[in-house]
Chains A and B, each alone.
Chain A
Amino acid sequence: MSQTRTTGVVVTPRAPVAAPARGRADGRWARRAPLLPALVFAIVVTQIPFLVTLYLSTLDWNALRPGERSFAGLANYAQVLTDGRLRAALLNTVVLTACAVVASVLLGLGVAILLDRRFPGRGVVRTLLITPFLVMPMAAALLWKHAIYNPAYGLINGIVGGSTDWVSQYPMLSVVATLVWQWTPFMMLIILAGLQSQSTEILEAARVDGAGAWQIFSRVTLPHLRPYLELGALLGSIYLVQTFDAVFTITQGGPGTATTNLPYEIYLTTFRKFEYGEAAAAGVVVVIATIVVATFALRVISSLFRLEDAR
């Protein structure tokens, strides 16, 4: 009971995100206690593997030659950084991510604007539109590969005619189109939330002042939407840069290395070539690249959430 009182008093005087406790040590630990299980678990499961990767990256270790494991210093890194395949994979990753993110943000913006007005069946249309995002990515990739792109009986050729082999002729476009189909609903949901948080008074005022529809959109709506567009693009990039299912299923990275992105290339190095040391080095390089990009991304997120907190 006495314990009850003291903890109660600590809570009382301040609003939730109050000045954190700086008082007695046991008070600080009482605050930390609920956090620790999650923090420890996250550190153990996500950080230790990276330390192991770091260690493995200095080994000359191919699993096909058991027993021959030796320290190789930075040789793997030299191999990775001079490897044409990896550079191609890096380029493919950038192209794939950028195209998919930009296209799905733009399409998502268009669709969100269409849904931002009342019309009969709006709820149904919204439900239809979010469905692609909910379909299992692996199932979506298979569906597009066989039921839509197939030259003989695919839906596209079935409707427009011809016998184009979409996947072999436009491999990157095939993968990107599938991803855009899945991610446009995601962007649409975030942007639509942004549109609906606009104050109608400001829009009305602009209209009364004689602003045209395009002027209102570019001068009022778009600036208001900016954080939502940024958030959508950022979250989309985080997920799309790791694209694996679509590449693994639709093109297997081919033809040649035309659609091999970094996740798929490292997967091949690990489980097809069994070059453990090299795969680990490639992993470390990817992590470093990600840290560079993520530092920037975190700054964006941070400003977005400060905005949210301020409201």
Chain B
Amino acid sequence: MTAVRTDPKAPAARQRRRARRTDRAGAGWTALAWLVGLLFFLPVLWMVLTGFKREVDAASNPPTWVFTPVLDGYRQVFDRDITPYLLNSLMASVVSTLFVLLLATPAAYALSIRPVAKWRDVLFFFISTKMLPAVAALLPIYLLVKELGLLDNVWTMVVLYTAMNLPLAVWMMRSFLLEVPPALIEAAAVDGASVLVTIRRILLPIVAPGLAATALICFIFSWNEFFFAVNLTATRAGTSPIFLVGFITSEGLFLARLCAAATLVSLPVVLAGWIAQKQLVRGLSMGAVK
């Protein structure tokens, strides 16, 4: 470094040399970034590839990278009737997400735009329910649900997932509502707009992307939820992770089938997450990180 700096001659050549060096270093960093990205993606790629293999190729050692893709794995998964499980998941996640938005948006309004007196306490009450371990609530919930005859019922899951995602949604929606410029709301009030009109014409259009981001996060968490599902549902209301439980103990050649099923149940969330990458960060951090 010092040698270069004290060199009195040819500053242009020096600059060129430095530029070339940073170019080379830059290429190195780029290659490293790609390598790391591919390394993290490798298991997913492997899962997708294996899902299209014949069972013999799937369980080969050394691993088969080149093969003729077949749909046997997927056919078997559908033969074993994965469809009702997927539909249960869809029902539980979509309906619970709707409920969460319906409950959380007004609550967030009362914690941001027209705050109640103890809004900070309420906010922390919500987040504290998220910290209490689900396992401590499992037994009473199980007994209660059994008593009511609601075991293996998809509506039970809807209620639980609503409760599970509510705190997250309240925090997120609050962070989005806080971004609405106060001047807009004031102007609407000066013009004599009612609260409902203000909400519909001014707030909702502005926070619509926020609603979408919140919905995405709630959908992801309820779609992937396993703990309550495995303990409270069985064949009738089983969600897609429950379909996978049968694969835990290995029996014969089943790897292609397993990977086909794993790819299939992961697909909705992976696609949704890919499309909405921007919203993902903010959602995962409950609105703290923009």
Contacts and interface: CB of A to CB of B under 8 A. Distances in A.
Q: Give chain A's interface secondary structure class.
A: helix
7 contacts: A11-B198, A42-B166, A49-B140, A53-B140, A134-B272, A158-B63, A283-B138
Interface string A136-164: 11111011111110101101011100000
Interface residues of A, number: 121
Given A12-B186, A22-B117, A262-B135, A155 B269 contact: no
A178 B9 CA distance: 56
A266 B138 CA distance: 9
Contacts of A193: 281, 285, 289-290
Interface string B241-252: 100110110100
Interface in A26-47: 28, 31-35, 37-39, 41-42, 45-47
A14 to B, nearest CB: 8
A30 B46 CA distance: 56
Contact of A119 (B26, B226, B240, B266): B26
A305 B123 CA distance: 11
A189 B217 CA distance: 14
Nearest to B103: A38
Contacts of A115: 33
Nearest to A8: B189
A190 B282 CA distance: 8
B266 A17 contact: no
Interface string A256-269: 00000011001100
A134 B275 CA distance: 12
A153 B160 CA distance: 39
Contacts of B63: 153, 155, 158-159
A46 B140 CA distance: 11
Given A31-B114, A35-B111, A128-B37, A139 B166 contact: no
B127 A301 contact: yes
Contacts of B193: 4, 8
Q: Give chain B's interface secondary structure class.
A: helix
Contacts of A9: 189
Contacts of B269: 134-136
Given A4-B192, A128-B40, 4 more contacts: A121-B34, A136-B269, A245-B226, A304-B288
Contact of B115 (A20, A114, A137): A20
A125 interface: yes
Given A21-B117, A139-B265, A283 B139 contact: yes
A150 B258 CA distance: 14
A139 B288 contact: no
A235 B221 CA distance: 14
B112 A16 contact: yes
B262 A136 contact: yes
B212 interface: no
Given A42-B163, A263-B227, A190 B281 contact: yes
A114 B36 contact: yes
Nearest to B180: A16
Contact of A267 (B163, B231, B277): B231
A42 B182 CA distance: 29
Interface of A: 3-5, 7-12, 14-18, 20-22, 28, 31-35, 37-39, 41-42, 45-50, 52-53, 56, 110-111, 114-115, 117, 119-122, 124-140, 142-148, 150, 152-153, 155, 157-159, 181, 184-186, 189-190, 192-194, 197, 228, 231, 235, 238, 241-242, 244-245, 248-249, 252, 262-263, 266-267, 270-271, 276, 279-280, 283-284, 286-287, 290, 294, 297-298, 301-302, 304-305, 308-309
Nearest to B113: A16
A136 B240 contact: yes
B47 A147 contact: yes
B61 A157 contact: yes
A122 B272 CA distance: 19
A209 to B, nearest CB: 15
Contact of B273 (A17, A124, A134, A287): A134
A130 B37 CA distance: 9
Q: Which of A20, A159, A186, A192 has most chain B Cβ within 10 Å?
A: A20
Contact of A186 (B104, B262, B284): B284
B36 A129 contact: yes
Given A17-B178, A49-B141, A186-B284, A131 B189 contact: no
Contacts of A138: 224, 226, 241, 244-245, 265
